[in-house]
C-alpha cells in the first residue's frame, strides 16, 4: 500500500482513448509550449533561484472539523478530515457543489470566515506555524482585478510589487510576459480586464490572469479554488498541466492543492492524490490512480469509455436524489452509496496508511519554514501602487471623470441661478445658500460616484493583501497620493465656474481658499468612505451608512439650524464639532463675508452691515479663530480618518487570529492574514 501512495498517476480513462485529446491539443492555439521558452527561464535572478532551492512545504491535517452556526446549534461543513499535501505533488479536491471544497482550502490556508469554528490539527512541516509571505499563494474563485488595466499591465504591476528588488525591471517584465504566455494569454495581453462599463477579458481569461498573478513568485505552496472554471477542456488541460509542471521549472518541489469540479480524463491524469468529498466527509483520499479501483471494489465500477471523475461525482452527488443507475451501482440510492464508500474508506488500508503517515509527519521535525521577505521594498511598493492606481483612475471614466462632468454641470447651474450675486441685503442669504448647497451636493455626489470604485479597489487590495503582496500602509499611501491630483481637478473646475459666474468675494486668496475647502471636503468624504468601506465592505450597506452620516453632518453643520439653536446634548456637543461640514461652512462663510459690506438697498432701508457682523449675529459663527484654522481642522480630519482606516484594517488583521485562537485553540498559530504582516 505504501508504494500505492507514492505511485505516479496512471491513465485516467476507464478505457484509454487519447484521440480526443490529440485533437484538442492541436486545435487550441492559445497556448504555447512552455518548454519552447526555456530561454526565458534564466530571467529569474540566479541568486534568488539559489535561495529558493530549499525544502518544500509538507502540509498535514488531522481530524479537521469546520462548523458554522445553524440556529441554536452548529452545522458541520467538514467532518473529521485527515490528509496531507506533499511537495512535488498535486492534490485535487473534488466533490459535488457545496460539499466543502472551498471550505477545506480556506481552512488549510487559514482563511475561514469569522462565523466558522475549526477544530483539528493543521501542521506545516510538522509545525504549527503561520505561513510566511512568499511560501504560499491562494487563487480564489473571485477574480478581483482592476478593470481598466490590460492583462499585461495587471501582471507587470503585480511583478513589480511582488518580486524582490534584487531582480531588475527587465527580469520582472520578462517573468510577467513568460507567465502570461504560459497561461495562453499571449493574444489577450493588450485586452483590458473589463468591468461593468466595458467588456474585457472573458471569464476563463480572467481566471488564467488570476493564476498568473499568484504563480509569479513561484510560491512553494499553492492553493487554487476552481482554477479551470470557465475554461474549455483543452484550455483546462493546458492550465492544469502548466500548474503541475511548476515543479519542473527550477528544481523547487512545490505543493499544489486545487479544488476542481469536472476534470477531463487528461486533467485527471495530472493529479497525484485525490481528496473526494461528499457533504463534508471523506469518500476517498489517496492516490488518484487508485480511486477507480476503490470504487470498483465497493461495487461501483467505472463504465467503459466513462470519464472516472464524472463517474465518481455521479455516484456521490446528493443534490438530485435518484437511484444510482443499474450498471453504476446495483440500484442503490445515492445516500446508501455514499455510506458504503465512506465506511469502506474508513476501514481501508489506504486510510490507515494515510493516518499513519500523517502521524509520522506530525512527530517528525522537518524544520519550520523560514520566513522570507522577497517582495519589493516598502517605498517601491508605495510608488508602484501610486502609479497603478493613478493609471486606473485616469482610465476609469465612471470615477473622477464622470464626477467632474456632473460637478461642472451643477456648478454651471449654480453659477447661472446665482449669477452676479451682488452685495445687497438679499445676497446675504443667497451667498449662504449657494455655499452650503455647493458643499452639500458635492459631498453626496462624491459618495455616490466614489464609493463603488473605492470598493472595487478594496476588493483588489483584500485579495492582494491576503496573499501578502503588500501591506495596509502601502495601500493607504498609494490610494491617497494617486487620488490627490484628481480631487484637485474636480474641486478646481467647478469652483472656478461658480466663483466667476456668481461673483463671489473677489481676490486670488478668496478664490484659492474656496478651492482648498472644496478639495478638503471632497477628500474628507473619500476618507470617511474608506473607514466605512473597511468596516462594511458591502455596496448597499456602505452607501446607506455613509449617506446617513453625511446627511446628519450637513444638517448640524450650522446653516440649516443655527449653532445656538441646536439642542445642546448630543447635537451640539459633540456632533456639531465632529461634523466636517461645520468647518467647511464656517471657513467658506468667513472667506466670503469678512471684509465685505452689505446693504445700501431698499430691503435694509439703505443701511449697510459689515460682513463680520453678519458672521457673528446672523450666522452665529465662531470668530475666535480664523478661516485658516477651519481649513487646518478639515485637513486634520482627513489625516485622522485615514489613520483610522489604517488602525481598523490592522486591528482587524490582528484580531482575526486572536478570534480564531479563541474559537479554536488548536488553530492558534495558523492564519493566512498574518502572512506578510512584517509588511506595513
Ligand X SMILES: Nc1ncnc2c1ncn2[C@@H]1O[C@H](COP(=O)(O)OP(=O)(O)OP(=O)(O)O)[C@@H](O)[C@H]1O
Q: Of the listed pieces 94-102, 464-472, 476-484, 564-572, which binds ligand X according to CB under 6 A?
A: 94-102
Alpha-carbon distance of 561 to 659, in angstroms, equals 45
User: Using CB under 6 A, which residues numbered 330 to 389 contact ligand X?
Assistant: none
* Minimal distance, residue 114 CB to ligand X, in Å: 8
Figure out which of the listed residues 97, 304, 347, 564 binds ligand X, where binding follows CB under 6 A: 97
68 binds ligand X (CB under 6 A): yes
Residue from 101, 220, 314, 465 touching ligand X (CB under 6 A): that is 101
- Select from 103, 381, 436, 491 the one that contacts ligand X (CB under 6 A): 103
Stretch that binds ligand X, among 54-62, 100-108, 204-212, 581-589 (CB under 6 A): 100-108
C-beta of 182 vs 225, nearer to ligand X: 225
All residues at 6 or more sequence positions from 389 whose CB lies less than 8 Å from its CB, including other chains: 457, 478, 479, 482, 483
Shortest Å, Cβ 115 to ligand X: 5
Distance of alpha carbon 568 from alpha carbon 174, whole angstroms: 65
Cα dihedral 78/82/84/85 (nearest 10): -10
DSSP state of 413: H
Among residues 52, 57, 59, 77, which is the contact residue for ligand X, using CB under 6 A?
77
Q: 259-292 b/e with 16+ CB inside 10 Å = b?
A: bbebbbbbbbbbbbbbbbbbbbbbbbbbbbbbbb
Instruction: For ligand X, give the closer residue by CB, 86 or 111.
Output: 111
3-state helix, strand, coil in the chain (%, to 5): 55, 10, 30
Q: Tell me which stretch binds ligand X (CB under 6 A): 43-51, 95-103, 417-425, 642-650.
A: 95-103
Point out which span in 96-104, 321-329, 345-353, 592-600 binds ligand X (CB under 6 A). 96-104
DSSP at 347: T
Of residues 247-266, which lie at the interface with ligand X (CB under 6 A)? none
**Cell 462624491 belongs to residue:** 446
Which residues, listed in sequence order, are joined to residue 222 by a DSSP beta bridge? 137, 256
Q: What is the rounded distance in angstroms from the CA atom of residue 314 to the CA atom of residue 2?
A: 29
Site string for ligand X, 111-150 (x = CB under 6 A): --x-xx----------------------------------
Rounded to 5 degrees, what angle do the CA atoms 579, 393, 436 make?
30
Q: How many residues bind ligand X (CB under 6 A)?
A: 13
Q: Which is nearer to ligand X, 105 or 149 (CB)?
A: 105
What does R_g of the chain's alpha carbons equal in angstroms?
31
Only segment of 99-107, 364-372, 403-411, 632-640 that touches ligand X (CB under 6 A)? 99-107
In the complex with ligand X, which residue's Cβ is closer, 119 or 618?
Answer: 119
Query: 81 or 131, CB closer to ligand X?
Result: 81
Whether the ω angle into residue 574 lies within 30 degrees of 0, i.e. cis, is yes
The CA distance from 31 to 20, in Å, is: 17
- Report the residue from 9, 34, 56, 100 that binds ligand X according to the rule CB under 6 A: 100
**Is residue 98 a contact residue for ligand X (CB under 6 A)?**
yes
CB of 278 to ligand X, least distance (A): 10
Q: How far is the CB of 393 from ligand X (least distance, A)?
A: 33
Using alpha carbons, select from 261, 233, 228 the residue that is nearest to residue 243. 228
Query: Residue 524: what are its φ and ψ, rounded to 5°?
Result: -65, -40
Q: Which stretch binds ligand X (CB under 6 A): 110-118, 508-516, 592-600, 614-622?
A: 110-118
* Residue of the chain from 102, 119, 202, 473 that contacts ligand X (CB under 6 A): 102
CA distances, 232 to each of 29, 205, 226, 239, 642 (Å) = 13, 11, 13, 10, 45
Check binding of 73 to ligand X (CB under 6 A).
no
Q: CA 291 → CA 173, 272, 288, 304, 305, distances in Å?
A: 42, 11, 5, 15, 16
State the Cα–Cα distance between residues 479 and 465, nearest whole angstrom. Answer: 14
Beta pairing partners, 91: 257, 273
What is the nearest approach in angstroms of ligand X to the Cβ of residue 72?
A: 15
How far apart are the two ends of the chain, measured CA to CA in Å? 48
List the x/- string, 19-58, binding to ligand X by CB under 6 A. Answer: ----------------------------------------
Q: Specify burial of residue 391 (Cβ count, 10 A radius: 0-12, 13-18, 19+).
A: middle
* Identity of the residue, 99 or 338, whose beta carbon is nearer to ligand X in the bound complex: 99
Tell whether residue 311 is a contact of ligand X (CB under 6 A).
no
Shortest distance, CB of residue 429 to ligand X, whole angstroms?
A: 55
CB 103, min distance to ligand X, A: 3
659 binds ligand X (CB under 6 A): no
Q: 145 or 313: whose CB is closer to ligand X?
A: 313
Here the cell at position 40 is 526565458
The footprint of ligand X (CB under 6 A) covers 68, 77, 95, 97-103, 113, 115-116
Amino acid at each position: 500500500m505504501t508504494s500505492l501512495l507514492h505511485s505516479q498517476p496512471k491513465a485516467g480513462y476507464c478505457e484509454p482513448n487519447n484521440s480526443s485529446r490529440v485533437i484538442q491539443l492541436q486545435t487550441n492555439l492559445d497556448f504555447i509550449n512552455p518548454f519552447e521558452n526555456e530561454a526565458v527561464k534564466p530571467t529569474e535572478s540566479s541568486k534568488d533561484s539559489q535561495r529558493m532551492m530549499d525544502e518544500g512545504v509538507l502540509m498535514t491535517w488531522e481530524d479537521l472539523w469546520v462548523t458554522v452556526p445553524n440556529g441554536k446549534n452548529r452545522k458541520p461543513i467538514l467532518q473529521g478530515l485527515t490528509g496531507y499535501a506533499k511537495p512535488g505533488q498535486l492534490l485535487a479536491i473534488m466533490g459535488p457543489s457545496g460539499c466543502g471544497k472551498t471550505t477545506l482550502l480556506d481552512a488549510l490556508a487559514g482563511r475561514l470566515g469569522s462565523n466558522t469554528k475549526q477544530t483539528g490539527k493543521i501542521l506545516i512541516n510538522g509545525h504549527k506555524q503561520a505561513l510566511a509571505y512568499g511560501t504560499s499563494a491562494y487563487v480564489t474563485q473571485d477574480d478581483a482585478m482592476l478593470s481598466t488595466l490590460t492583462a499585461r499591465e495587471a501582471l507587470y504591476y503585480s511583478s513589480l510589487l511582488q518580486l524582490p528588488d534584487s531582480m531588475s525591471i527587465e527580469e520582472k517584465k520578462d517573468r510577467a510576459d513568460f507567465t502570461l504566455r504560459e497561461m495562453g494569454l499571449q493574444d489577450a495581453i493588450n485586452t483590458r480586464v473589463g468591468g461593468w462599463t466595458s467588456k474585457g477579458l472573458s471569464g476563463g481569461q480572467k481566471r488564467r490572469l488570476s493564476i498568473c498573478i499568484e504563480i509569479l513568485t513561484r510560491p512553494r505552496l499553492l492553493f487554487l479554488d476552481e482554477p479551470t472554471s470557465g475554461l474549455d477542456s483543452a484550455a483546462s488541460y493546458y492550465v492544469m498541466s502548466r500548474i503541475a509542471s511548476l515543479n519542473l521549472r527550477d528544481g523547487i518541489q512545490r505543493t499544489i492543492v486545487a479544488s476542481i469540479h469536472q476534470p477531463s480524463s487528461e486533467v485527471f491524469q495530472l493529479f497525484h492524490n485525490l481528496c473526494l468529498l461528499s457533504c463534508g466527509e471523506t469518500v476517498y483520499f489517496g492516490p488518484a490512480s487508485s480511486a477507480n479501483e476503490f470504487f470498483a471494489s465497493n461495487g461501483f465500477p467505472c463504465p467503459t469509455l466513462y470519464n472516472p471523475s464524472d463517474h465518481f461525482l455521479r455516484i456521490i452527488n446528493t443534490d438530485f436524489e435518484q437511484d444510482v443507475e443499474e450498471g453504476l451501482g446495483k440500484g442503490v440510492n445515492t445516500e446508501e452509496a455514499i455510506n458504503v464508500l465512506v465506511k469502506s474508506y474508513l476501514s481501508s488500508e489506504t486510510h490507515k496508511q494515510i493516518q499513519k503517515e500523517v502521524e509520522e509527519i506530525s512527530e517528525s521535525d522537518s524544520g519550520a519554514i523560514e520566513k522570507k521577505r522577497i517582495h519589493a521594498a516598502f517605498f517601491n511598493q508605495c510608488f508602484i501602487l501610486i502609479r497603478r492606481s493613478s493609471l486606473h483612475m485616469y482610465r476609469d471614466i465612471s470615477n473622477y471623470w464622470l464626477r467632474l462632468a456632473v460637478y461642472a454641470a451643477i456648478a454651471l447651474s449654480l453659477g447661472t441661478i446665482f449669477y452676479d450675486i451682488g452685495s445687497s441685503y438679499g445676497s446675504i442669504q443667497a451667498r449662504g445658500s449657494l455655499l452650503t448647497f455647493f458643499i452639500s451636493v458635492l459631498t453626496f455626489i462624491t459618495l455616490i460616484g466614489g464609493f463603488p470604485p473605492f470598493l472595487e479597489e478594496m476588493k483588489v487590495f483584500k485579495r492582494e493583501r491576503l496573499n501578502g503582496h503588500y501591506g495596509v500602509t502601502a495601500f493607504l499611501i498609494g490610494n491617497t497620493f494617486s487620488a490627490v491630483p484628481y480631487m484637485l481637478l474636480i474641486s478646481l473646475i467647478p469652483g472656478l465656474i461658480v466663483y466667476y459666474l456668481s461673483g463671489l468675494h473677489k481676490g486670488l486668496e478668496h478664490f484659492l481658499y474656496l478651492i482648498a475647502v472644496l478639495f478638503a471636503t471632497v477628500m474628507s468624504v473619500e476618507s470617511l468612505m474608506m473607514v466605512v468601506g473597511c468596516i462594511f465592505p458591502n455596496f448597499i450597506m456602505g452607501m446607506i451608512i455613509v449617506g446617513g452620516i453625511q446627511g446628519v453632518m450637513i444638517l448640524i453643520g450650522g446653516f440649516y439650524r443655527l449653532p445656538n439653536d441646536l439642542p445642546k446634548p448630543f447635537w451640539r456637543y459633540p456632533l456639531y464639532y465632529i461634523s466636517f461640514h461645520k468647518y467647511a461652512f464656517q471657513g467658506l462663510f468667513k472667506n466670503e463675508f469678512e471684509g465685505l459690506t452689505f446693504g445700501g438697498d431698499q430691503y435694509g432701508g439703505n443701511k449697510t452691515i459689515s460682513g463680520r457682523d453678519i458672521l457673528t449675529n446672523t450666522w452665529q459663527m465662531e470668530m475666535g479663530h480664523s478661516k485658516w484654522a477651519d481649513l487646518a481642522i478639515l485637513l486634520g480630519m482627513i489625516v485622522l480618518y485615514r489613520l483610522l482606516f489604517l488602525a481598523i484594517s490592522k486591528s482587524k488583521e490582528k484580531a482575526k487570529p486572536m478570534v480564531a485562537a479563541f474559537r479554536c485553540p488548536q488553530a492558534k498559530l495558523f492564519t493566512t492574514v498574518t502572512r506578510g504582516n512584517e509588511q506595513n
